[in-house]
Structure 1
């Protein structure tokens, strides 16, 4: 068993459904903080939410799973996330 930190990974993508006007961005930021995820979240004009997450692999995977459900009032219909290069983002913000 190693004490070395897990490699960082990064996901970027879009969440569709009833994801605006239901506290999705605020809940995403709170979940990211709880998991130690860096990145950002924002609403798009077409009704989707765009998200960028960076962190240790297990934390990012936990974030992916959370995004598939979202907060209680949301109704997530589709999640399209792709891995991308780590950008070295620090902190998590709502754009």
Structure 2
């Protein structure tokens, strides 16, 4: 497992009542606070897909926030995938 200071890419799919409730905006704000780059977008099946790159520690914190109870709407589950950062992301945007 990579050290916590090593950069990584985290992709998370969040399911529940997460569209039309400000979830992507909230995710963007948290990601920017953590110094992460990436994006959040609605998927056709009702989930929100979140891609974040930065320190492993910050990505883990964002994942914990996505799974937490203080999100807009209602999160029923989160599935994540970890991979090598691509380094092509700048800022954090809502798609």
Decide whether the 8 Å contact of 1:27 with 1:71 is kept in 2.
Answer: no
The alignment of Structure 1 onto Structure 2 pairs a total of residues equal to 91
1:72–1:40: structure 2 CA closer, same or farther, 3 Å change rule?
closer
Larger radius of gyration: 1
Report runs of 4+ in structure 1 exceeding 3 Å deviation.
Answer: 70-73
In structure 2, what is the Cα distance between the partners aligned to 1:33 and 1:25?
12
1:74 Cα offset (Å): 1.5
Gaps of 5+ in 2: none
* Contact 2:32/2:92, CA 8 A, preserved across alignment: yes
TM-score by length of 1: 0.88
What residue is the counterpart of 1:42 in the other structure? Answer: 41
Give the deviation of 1:13 after TM superposition: 2.4
Distance in 2 (alpha carbons) for counterparts of 1:70 and 1:50: 18
1:33-88 Cα distance to aligned partner (Å, 9 max, x none): 00001111000111100110111111111001001126543110010011012010
Q: Which runs of 5+ in 1 are unaligned?
A: 1-5
TM-score by length of 2: 0.88
RMSD value, Cα? 1.6
Residues 68 and 77 (structure 1 numbering): CA distance in 2 closer, same or farther, change over 3 Å? same
